[in-house]
Structure 1
Amino acid sequence: MKTNTSKNLANVTVQDSFWNQQLEVVQREVIPYQWKALNDELPDTEPSHAIENFRIAAGESDGEYYGMVFQDSDVAKWLEAVAYSLHVTPDETLEKTADELIDLLGRAQQNDGYLNTYYTIKEPGKRWTNVRDNHELYCAGHLIEAAVAYYEATGKRKFVDIMARYADYINTVFGDGPGQIQGYPGHQEIELALVKFYHVTGKEDYLRLSKYFIDKRGKQPHFYEIEKERRGDSKPFWWNDDPGYSQAHLPVREQTKAVGHSVRALYMYTAIADLAKETGDDSLRETSETLWNNVTRKQMYVTAGLGSGEFGEAFTFDYDLPNDTSYTETCASIALVFWADRMLKLAKKGEYADVLERALYNGTISGMNLDGKKFFYVNPLEVSQAASRRHDHKHVKPVRQGWFGCACCPPNLARMITSLNRYLYTEDIDTLYVHQYTGSKGSFTLNGEAVTVRQETNYPWEGNVALHVNVDQPTNFKLAIRVPGWCQDAKVTINGEAISIVDDIVDGYVYIDREWKDSDLVNLVFPMEVQRIHANPHVRETAGQVALQRGPVVYCLEQVDNGENLHNIFLPSEGKLEAAFEQELLNGVVTISGEALRIVETTWSDDSLYAPVTYQKTPVQIKAVPYFAWCNREPGEMRVWLNETK
């Protein structure tokens, strides 16, 4: 079997004060913590049983299957995060643990290649009888992704070989041939995983199978109905009976709006973009662009949160973006990072990198405490006492949790942070694209010559970036620099000489085409002013309100800084706002402070619920902190969107 090492993993190293802090937390706390969780070694948390399930499946332990039907995927995502971590920081002990776990997976694999603990232990005679609900292909996809990452990080093939046996078996199960299942998964994931597997193995069967699942989805007669009838299932299963829940309501190329479970949707959209790139299918490209526009222009929160509805963890309808009941699952923002990355591979457009940046600095890392020990599944944009007192807010937790019975988010977050180096640059034949501003060092080949670029910055707190270019000999190539969408007045100098960029920005990128010499220095200045962000008037929940953003970071008010009843605070539209870096606060962040007005509650009679009076307001000082860092001090209220007044 042919194997190829992906350059994405090998050629870029993150050397960044902000992200190395995040990475160190994942390596020091999250990966070991999650390993304990997977082995049921954490007190006062929901047991996982995931490792024990594999031991039982391998015949090395007695007992019953325990956990969600997709429990295997937690193990896969942990292994994937470990792989990326080992690439960054070699660790013999951690690698030995991972090798031993991979050996266990191999022993749990069935003779025909099948690898799924739920059906091996609990329902051994019912494989593939409920593809809609029971996540066999979803788990397989995550295991494939982990195998690819582990091979790329270590060069060890055992995990790839295990998953090749499984993927080859799956390829015999699904298809239009005699006796094959003419269907597709309920939870998309394997589609994008198979494209990755194709890249590593060179085996076109995997690319064809991915495309088969996409092409078959949503066509009539409807697979889910056929499957239900085949297994004699007449009872509804909550929301799953709506094919839109898993984006199977229409053939993929006819879908124009994001509907249903947000994570399923974005994993599928990622695969669509992958396949459009690999196959040159213009219809899939058009579908990708259409869905992108709907999601990012009509259904995305300012924090890059996605999925406004708790019922079904789902998209609802255009401009429906409630703040205090939003679902905005951590995994959905992480999936948005994946999708934006694939859209950048389809077309070099700054808007894709802008959204990727918004997700990285806001809706993803908000899902984890700064110490890496507690996690949010749901990331609301407003929290009040309703979160603990109202049933319709039951999904909103006012504090992060130690673990979850459905623990998809923590390992997903770990694998995203440890793979950050994949999202910074793209290398074409004669062009190096700088997508994200993160301290890093990358080695590339442009026009056949070796080029090294070292990036220095204090992003996201400062907008100054230095790009050091090193070449063995003078080399012609293009350096494409993204001008962030939030930046109003970018400046670029080369070796101290200013260059005009006003007329040279194409789709959000400045292209500098020149002969580069060793030690050339490109300085970028992206002024970071405090911006007042308003929502489209169709978003009813934010009418008359404003959000604060500085650079790529969205801010919020917390009760610990501003007192309770944050809804009584009004921000003057012309008031002065100041930003300052506070080294001792929240591991070092820029805060925003200024004068606001607060309704004077003490002048209101406790005997009156309603009265024909004018509110009295008094000036107060407010402090806003980055949204990603909220709830790392005292629990309390939080708001992203603030009332605005003249």
Structure 2
Amino acid sequence: MTGREPLGGISLTNHLANPRYGVTPALKDVRIDSPFWSRYIQLVKNTVIPYQYKAIHDRIPEAEKSFAIQNFRIAAGLAEGEFQGMVFQDSDVAKWLEAVGYSLQAVPDSELEKLADEVIDLVAAAQQPDGYLNTYFTIKEPDKRWTNLAECHELYCAGHMMEAAVAYFDATGKRKLLDVMCKFADYIDSVFGKGEGRLHGYDGHQEIELALIKLYRATGNDRYLQLSKYFIDERGQSPLYLTEEWERRGRKTFFPEMKDFGVDYAQAHEPVRQQQHATGHAVRAVYMYAAMADIAAETGDAGLYEACKRLWDNLAGKRMYLTGAIGSQAFGERFSFDYDLPSDLAYAETCASIGLIFFAERMLRLEPNSQYADVLERALYNTVLAGMSLDGKKFFYVNPLEVVPEACDYHNKQHVKAERQGWFGCACCPPNVARLLSSLGKYIYSIRENTIFVHLYAGSEADLKLGAHNVRLVQEADLPSGNKVSVQVYPGEEAVFSLGFRQPDWCPAMHISVNGELLLTEGRSENGYIRIERTWKNGDAVELELEMPIIRMKANPLVRETIGKVALQRGPLVYCLEEADNGNLLHELVLPGNAQLQADFQSDLLGGVTVIRGLAERASASDWNGKLYKPAAAETSVEEKVTFIPYYAWANRACGEMSVWIREK
């Protein structure tokens, strides 16, 4: 199938007009009230956003300097100096503004809004008369616009600022940044395309594609949709634009290592509809896949939709870690090959898991299938939360599944850190975490035709538009520690519709009652969702009990690094061993197959977590007499108590070893 053929007979011409394409409620219509998630929402608002404001203004002495705001001041003619920082430093300001926009949608804050307005004024002042906006090229190389799309992130930075503009407009109704970015988008549209005298190129780091879709939805301007589609359609076409561009530059590279990455690094090795594997830089890939899914929905492009499904299957089925992390190779921050998932060498960038969540959410709206929500939840609870310390002031760029601190000093593992950092010269991950958690309300529910789907179980109150009815849902949930969920329904007046409740992949059985009457779920499950259709009245209550056993997870035997090992999962949380609880030399531990494991909530540990306790065996080196090797014999071991903590909470105490996987006896 190619072109604009309908997806399975479904016309997807407009995400607003067509009820067959899932609609996500506006962020202001979903208010989170959850013992677990409210803490993070408040942490982002009260700590992370102010901290990152100081970071981009270079006001944190102990953190690496950002220079981001200073670059805008210089570009606007308000200060003198040279551009400093990474070539894509503008994106840090954009992501901060986007996080502010989401936070203001949830909770208005006049002081925060004032700070954002000041930053927006500065951004607007840095815009050039023709609409161009990029501090690196404005300050340092004004005559070299669009000459190095492969490496220099012009369109990437533009995309992030477009997303910020839409988020801030949705929050405040203020158009200043939106108008700035519409002017920039119009200029970009005049530069790129099929027409005479235009560049037949596309960005090296995908981002603008998904941002243009947001700009299109905010303004209704079809030019932005068509420009996004152009960038997707042109990518990988022969002759390869990025290769030709490199030749025109005399084969010079901005980043020396880029010359060794290959064209698949930017997913430009072949047209996107022909691509079979998740390849190249992981963040670029999932940002592009998210845009592809959006465009498939907006245009009814079945070929693009099939490519999304094929790439999803490869990514989630063969190239994803148990924690929802992706990108196993440090060289190029990229995917390697099927089933290559080393724990101690993993790159697993925080941004990549955030991009995976973007992709999953869009696939979920195209097709309400629990496989997408399962991955979304896995990445959210594990890798994304692990990317930030519990106090919101330190961050991981890389999220390995095994760490030995001494090894981090050696070349092949220097990308792995045993402790989070206050900031980074390349600081894409911290503001990405902030903008995702600030917008968490967008991921809990969606509406498709006459059904409200509940994707995440998180305490919240939502006002949802379902046809002619305004339906309010009040959800209470004690996940991830507990397993009970209740949803009260208020349709205003009696109405017939369906509620679809996801049965997570970690839940072997889900018990549901409506107004106290146990519901027979047989025949109600569709693609992993239990659908309840009835005439709903105000005050109707749905009670869910999700079985939440401790599960021993194994990887496919084709994953060489984890053969003979297990990892523990309970509910959405993957667990790990940490030196603070179990001493060092974690590789010596073996978990017997019959070991009894017990979940135990500890309110005074790591902000309140459920740990898993049990008995393991530790191999003993006492009878080796200093030898490195000896003939095999029965292994001497001693029984030892072990404690597993949620993976997201590791590295919040003393620096030490960590391991997700443990040998199984």
Name whichever of 20-29 and 223-232 sits farther off. 223-232
Instruction: Mark the CA change 1:430 to 1:61 in structure 2 (over 3 Å): closer, same or farther.
Output: same
1:289 to 277, 288, 309: 309
| Conserved 8 A contact 2:27-2:106 | no
Structure 1 residue 6 displacement after superposition:
8.2
RMSD: 1.3
5 Å-filtered alignment, 1:358-373, equals 358-373=378-393
2:442 to 414, 418, 422: 422
Q: Deviations over 1:175-216 (max 9, x none)?
A: 011110001000000000000110000000000000000000
Residue 50 of structure 1 corresponds to 68
Residue 221 of structure 2 corresponds to 203
Q: Secondary structure at the match of 1:412?
A: helix
1:32 to 41, 50, 54: 50
Q: Secondary structure at the match of 2:622?
A: helix
Residue 238 of structure 2 corresponds to 220
Residue 40 of structure 2 corresponds to 22
Residue 341 of structure 2 corresponds to 321
Q: Secondary structure at the match of 1:260?
A: coil
Look up the equivalent residue of 1:370 and give its one-letter code: L
Instruction: Mark the CA change 1:80 to 1:575 in structure 2 (over 3 Å): closer, same or farther.
Output: same
2:207 to 189, 192, 199: 189
TM-score with structure 1 length normalisation? Answer: 0.98
The count of aligned residue pairs is 642
- The answer to whether 1:238 aligns with 2:257 is yes
2:194 to 176, 186, 192: 176
In structure 2, distance between residues paired with 1:48 and 1:115:
19
Residue 378 of structure 1 corresponds to 398
In structure 1, distance between residues paired with 2:150 and 2:599:
50
Look up the equivalent residue of 1:454 and give its one-letter code: V
- Structure number with higher relative contact order (C-alpha < 8 Å, ≥ 6 residues apart): 2
- The answer to whether 1:638 aligns with 2:661 is no
| Conserved 8 A contact 2:387-2:397 | yes
- The answer to whether 1:471 aligns with 2:486 is no
In structure 2, distance between residues paired with 1:100 and 1:361:
34
In structure 2, distance between residues paired with 1:608 and 1:517:
72
- The answer to whether 1:604 aligns with 2:621 is no
Name whichever of 229-238 and 123-132 sits farther off. 229-238
1:514 to 529, 534, 543: 534
In structure 1, distance between residues paired with 2:578 and 2:47:
26
Residue 510 of structure 2 corresponds to 490
Residue 263 of structure 1 corresponds to 283
Structure 1 residue 233 displacement after superposition:
3.0
Residue 561 of structure 1 corresponds to 581
Residue 547 of structure 2 corresponds to 527
In structure 2, distance between residues paired with 1:593 and 1:600:
21
| Conserved 8 A contact 1:298-1:318 | yes
Structure 1 residue 604 displacement after superposition:
2.7
| Conserved 8 A contact 1:582-1:590 | yes
2:461 to 441, 444, 450: 441
In structure 2, distance between residues paired with 1:45 and 1:496:
54
Residue 135 of structure 1 corresponds to 153
- The answer to whether 1:276 aligns with 2:277 is no
- The answer to whether 1:332 aligns with 2:352 is yes
Structure 1 residue 608 displacement after superposition:
4.5
Look up the equivalent residue of 1:466 and give its one-letter code: S
In structure 1, distance between residues paired with 2:513 and 2:93:
47
Instruction: Mark the CA change 1:501 to 1:382 in structure 2 (over 3 Å): closer, same or farther.
Output: same
Q: Deviations over 1:386-445 (max 9, x none)?
A: 433321110000100111000000000000000000000002341111111000000112
In structure 2, distance between residues paired with 1:608 and 1:304:
37
In structure 1, distance between residues paired with 2:427 and 2:114:
24
Look up the equivalent residue of 1:251 and give its one-letter code: P
In structure 2, distance between residues paired with 1:534 and 1:502:
29
Name whichever of 546-555 and 18-27 sits farther off. 18-27
Structure 1 residue 634 displacement after superposition:
1.1
Q: Deviations over 1:73-118 (max 9, x none)?
A: 0000000001111122221111101001101111110000000000
In structure 2, distance between residues paired with 1:289 and 1:71:
33
Residue 119 of structure 1 corresponds to 137
Q: Secondary structure at the match of 1:323?
A: coil
Unaligned runs of 5+ in 2: 1-15, 17-22
5 Å-filtered alignment, 1:517-596, equals 517-596=537-616
Structure 1 residue 475 displacement after superposition:
0.7
| Conserved 8 A contact 2:25-2:442 | no
Look up the equivalent residue of 1:238 and give its one-letter code: E
- The answer to whether 1:86 aligns with 2:82 is no
Look up the equivalent residue of 1:362 and give its one-letter code: N
TM-score with structure 2 length normalisation? Answer: 0.95
In structure 2, distance between residues paired with 1:198 and 1:144:
10
In structure 1, distance between residues paired with 2:619 and 2:28:
56
Q: Secondary structure at the match of 2:258?
A: helix
Q: Secondary structure at the match of 2:149?
A: coil
Structure 1 residue 602 displacement after superposition:
2.7
| Conserved 8 A contact 1:239-1:245 | no
In structure 2, distance between residues paired with 1:602 and 1:94:
60
Look up the equivalent residue of 2:148 and give its one-letter code: N
Structure 1 residue 511 displacement after superposition:
1.1
In structure 2, distance between residues paired with 1:97 and 1:292:
40
Residue 8 of structure 1 corresponds to 26
2:424 to 404, 419, 431: 404
Structure 1 residue 27 displacement after superposition:
1.4
| Conserved 8 A contact 1:368-1:410 | yes
In structure 1, distance between residues paired with 2:632 and 2:402:
29
In structure 2, distance between residues paired with 1:268 and 1:502:
38
Residue 128 of structure 2 corresponds to 110
Structure 1 residue 607 displacement after superposition:
4.3
1:162 to 174, 180, 200: 180
Name whichever of 544-553 and 87-96 sits farther off. 87-96
Instruction: Mark the CA change 1:110 to 1:6 in structure 2 (over 3 Å): closer, same or farther.
Output: farther
* Percent identity over paired residues: 52
Look up the equivalent residue of 2:304 and give its one-letter code: L
| Conserved 8 A contact 1:387-1:398 | no
Structure 1 residue 575 displacement after superposition:
1.2
Q: Deviations over 1:583-642 (max 9, x none)?
A: 000000100001111112333312454344332011111000000000101110000000
Look up the equivalent residue of 2:327 and give its one-letter code: G
Q: Secondary structure at the match of 1:632?
A: coil
- The answer to whether 1:147 aligns with 2:172 is no
Residue 350 of structure 1 corresponds to 370
In structure 2, distance between residues paired with 1:607 and 1:312:
39
In structure 2, distance between residues paired with 1:462 and 1:234:
56
| Conserved 8 A contact 2:95-2:432 | yes
Instruction: Mark the CA change 1:22 to 1:387 in structure 2 (over 3 Å): closer, same or farther.
Output: farther
| Conserved 8 A contact 1:6-1:152 | no
In structure 2, distance between residues paired with 1:476 and 1:502:
21
In structure 2, distance between residues paired with 1:245 and 1:354:
27
Residue 525 of structure 2 corresponds to 505
| Conserved 8 A contact 2:25-2:445 | no
Structure 1 residue 10 displacement after superposition:
2.4
Structure 1 residue 234 displacement after superposition:
5.1
Look up the equivalent residue of 1:554 and give its one-letter code: V
| Conserved 8 A contact 2:82-2:140 | yes
| Conserved 8 A contact 2:83-2:139 | yes
Q: Deviations over 1:492-517 (max 9, x none)?
A: 10001011113221100111110001
